Structure 1
């Protein structure tokens, strides 16, 4: 296999030459907002990283129109009068716009996005005061909680049919989401692998946490056109579309099939993992997908580190952290009768057992099942369908001597089946252990200073105590970042309401580089229980290293 290295990956633009720019190199393609310090909400840690990760891939082709951060993100940029200010700034000044921050939705389906400074004595962008898509915006990304709700009486029609005046797609979440810097970066990794915009958003978010529900809506003059946009759109287009119909998809966790470990392993070891071999990873996927040999003679890799190939309607790819993806067939979405959990697990296990070389014989345990859901409706709300399940996703987790990997998006084998029971896709991120282990430093007894006599070893840390200490450090870092001349870190911390998310505490292996080490992990939620602005954060602590 010959690898051709390129300075940049493929362009997501509908044409290589978008036309002349009026004043500079921006061309009105993309811009972003991100807020970590808010006027009157709890601070966040990773939204700037999230937004710049999304922009980074795009800026290989043309410069951004804008990136407004913290106090730069103000109400004027979201409302009709100034949302294309100076033909350059604001959410309707670009074809694709990305917003990362807090978000919430009230009982009437109105979305609120707190901002970093007041303008006109207001500091929230509110959906029913927006009007986008009548100038440039066609792809609107809300990397916030509850920005694209689809359940409990909510729908994209209810929230966005009024503000949307021509945009093609809207991305967001049904649920509270994790404060993570990886959404934007992972979106482009998935897209670069060959996934549609819809699948890339759902899968990028699912890599970060299986308990959140990412969602995507598309518009069109007909129901079929809106659904087709979900199925196939992979480029940014300047042309607006009529939004007579909306179609939307989301991931819905059906059930967990694995009981979480809550105690540290009795004899903890650090597992050594074989270094990555991307050419071997891709060749193995090629055999799984029955690629002709000629299809893998030459492949391209760019600085993002994603390597992919296609043959007909089949795609294979390998990405950073050994995340591999294979598309084997188009799903039959005409069959909307979902597979029973037991049948889905049985079929997924059969597929996994038929292809042991794809995971290098990794020890795997079934983890959970979720559905790809879809619904649709007319812009005026006169017709809203019933949700249907289009696909069943079965996830297996890699384990070492029965102890599972708990790092999100790592050590997984996820099999996607349509309702006919056909395997249509698979995502793999397992790693091959070398067979070597290391004794954690916490298990080494230090010398007593008296000849050969040794003190007792520190031993494994109590997982809950380790997480409590890690949580204190994380909160201290968060409040220190948000402190300014008006608010001290102590004042900010005193306002925080922090609680554990039930059912998320677990012990297992974290993968970092070429090692897997015992660790504990849990989710905490920050924000008042009564507030619509809450956020989830992972807390992770090694228990032996």
Structure 2
């Protein structure tokens, strides 16, 4: 296998030449907003990393037009009068824009994004006050809760058809989303593997938490063009399109099939070092690649190896995240695959390609699609296009609980054909270790050992980890006018039912005992809530 190295990886730009550069050598391609400290909402922890993770890949090609953080993110940049301020700053000053922060939607389908400073007496960007896509922007990423809603009477048309004056695609969430640093980075990781913009957004979000519902909408002058753009676009284009039709897709959990583990592992598991070229070769055999297809493979400094043969793709990325696309899904068949049959078909595939990993079925979710006209004259019914079955890796019956690690996710179309799969299982090195944190220390009285420390209690460990998280949020949200104690008192936190679990976390080449749960932060009836993972190592 011959490796072809690239410093930058593939470019997401269309083949057309960029326009003339403005000041500071920018070309009007991309910009971002991220807010962790808000005027009047609870703080967040990871939005800056989220936005810069999205920008980092793009800035290999051209510099960003802007990145406004915290108090720099103000209402003027989102409204038509100034959304292309100085032909450089604002939502409509770039082809692709990324916003990471709080988000919420009212019962009328109006989206609100709290910002970091007051401008013109206001501190919320409101969808009904926006008008974008008549200048530059074609791809709008809302990395916030409830930004592209698709259920309970909501549609992307209801929220975004008014503000949208020519943009091609919108990315967001139907549900409350996790406060995570990884959406932007993982989006490009998935895209570099060969996935479309739509698939990359859905799969990146699903890596972070299977209980949230990422969503993507695309536009076009006809239903066919909007649907085709949704399912195939993977380059940034400057040309605007008619939004006479909208088509949208989203992931939604159908059923959870695994009870949360309660047994605390006693040992750490040593994992075999990765061999990315061997991983790619195995994927090539899985996809029935001809031998010549893997004689040369692309590899970049970000650590993604990929190859394709016709419409089949294989890729392996950091953290052993592998992806294989095996076939074009038959989306003409819209009769939803039965859960039992889907699990049986997926299990046969997963066990065949698990390379000896122990697996337990975890959950089933659907890829849904709908479409409608901007004027409201036609609105379809949601259809399930694919069924995705997730299996969780276990060591001696105890599961890996790190999101996006130790998994096999199998996607089947409604014919029952396996069309793609995500694999992130790891091979055990055949050895285990007693965690150093439970080794009995010397007593200080000759060779006799002191009493060994007891294993940490999961509930107590999670409570301590949650307390540390609260202290961190209090510091992030504090300033001269808002002491940390005041921020702390405003935080309203509750556990998300059914999310507490114990098992193995994977870090590097080690799987260690840990506990994990999901919490929701914000008043229960508030429009602006977020969720966070709380993780507590139990032994290292």
For the aligned pair, the TM-score class normalised by the smaller chain equals over 0.9
Distance 2:436 2:321 in 1: 30
Q: Could you tell me which of 502, 510, 515 is aligned with 2:505? A: 510
The answer as to 2:404 corresponding to 1:406 is: no
Please give the alpha-carbon distance, in whole angstroms, between the structure 2 residues aligned to 1:531 and 1:352.
41
Query: Hey, what does 2:361 align to over in structure 1?
Result: 366
Give the TM-score of the pair, scaled to structure 1: 0.98
- Distance in 2, matches of 1:493 and 1:483, equals 9
1:304 Cα deviation from its structure 2 partner: 1.4
Residues 263, 463 of structure 1: 8 Å contact kept: no
CA distance in 1 between partners of 2:154 and 2:488 (Å) = 34
2-side partners of 1:481 and 1:89: how far apart? 26
Show the counterpart of 2:337. Answer: 339
1:272 to 270, 273, 296: 270
Counterpart Cα distance in 2 of 1:178 and 1:354: 33
Q: 2:376 aligns with which of 376, 381, 384?
A: 381
Moved over 6 A (4+): none
Q: Give the superposition deviation at 1:26.
A: 1.0
**1:213-263, Cα deviation, whole Å (9 max, x unpaired):** 000000000111110011100000000000000000000100001000134
Match of 2:308 in 1: 310
Further displaced range: 338-347 or 2-11: 2-11
Q: Which residue of 2 aligns with 1:183?
A: 183
Structure 1 range deviating more: 346-355 or 68-77: 346-355
Partner of 2:11: 11
Counterpart secondary structure, 1:430: coil
CA offsets 1:99-123 (integer angstroms, 9 cap, x no match): 0000000000000000000000100
Structure 2 unaligned regions, length at least 5: none
State the alpha-carbon separation in 2 of the partners of residues 433 and 455 from structure 1: 32
Once residues 257 and 181 of structure 1 are traced to their aligned partners in structure 2, the CA distance between those partners, rounded to angstroms, is: 28
Q: Quick one: distance in 1 between partners of 2:164 and 2:373?
A: 13
**1:98 offset after TM fit, Å?**
0.2
Distance 1:263 1:295 in 2: 45
Give secondary structure in 2 for the equivalent of 1:518: strand
- Looking at structure 1, the residues matched to 350 and 139 of structure 2 have their Cα atoms a distance apart, in angstroms, of 36
1:299-358: CA deviation from partner (whole Å, max 9, x where unpaired): 121121111000000000000000000000000000000111100000011112333xxx
Q: In the aligned structure 1, how far is the partner of 2:355 from the partner of 2:431? A: 16
Q: Which residue of 1 aligns with 2:136?
A: 136
On the 8 A contact 1:262/1:505 being kept in 2, the answer is: no
Aligned residues: 540
Using the alignment, how far apart are the partners of 2:316 and 2:143 within structure 1? 25
Which SS does the other structure have where 1:398 is aligned?
Answer: strand
TM-score by length of 2: 0.99
Superimposed CA distance per residue, residues 161-200 of structure 1 (whole angstroms, 9 cap, x where no aligned partner): 0000000000000000000010000000000000000000
Runs of at least 5 residues in structure 1 that lack an aligned partner in the other structure: none
| Equivalent in the alignment of 1:527 | 522
Q: Quick check: 1:65–1:89 contact (8 Å CA) kept in 2? A: yes
One of 465, 471, 475 as aligned partner of 2:466: 471
Distance (Å, rounded) in 2 between the aligned partners of 1:7 and 1:169: 28
SS of aligned partner of 1:218: strand
What is the deviation of 1:292? 1.1
Which whole-Å CA distance do the structure 1 matches of 2:347 and 2:153 have between them?
Answer: 36
Give the corresponding residue for 1:286: 284
Any conservation in 2 of the 1:255–1:368 contact (CA below 8 Å)?
Answer: yes
Q: Judge which range, 485-494 or 531-540, deviates more.
A: 485-494
Q: CA deviation at 1:16?
A: 6.1
**2:414 paired residue among 392, 396, 419:** 419
> After the TM superposition, which of the residue ranges 217-226 and 434-443 deviates more from structure 2?
434-443
Cross-structure match for 2:444: 449
Inter-partner Cα distance in structure 1 for 2:350 and 2:479: 53
Matches within 5 A, 1:69-148: 69-148=69-148
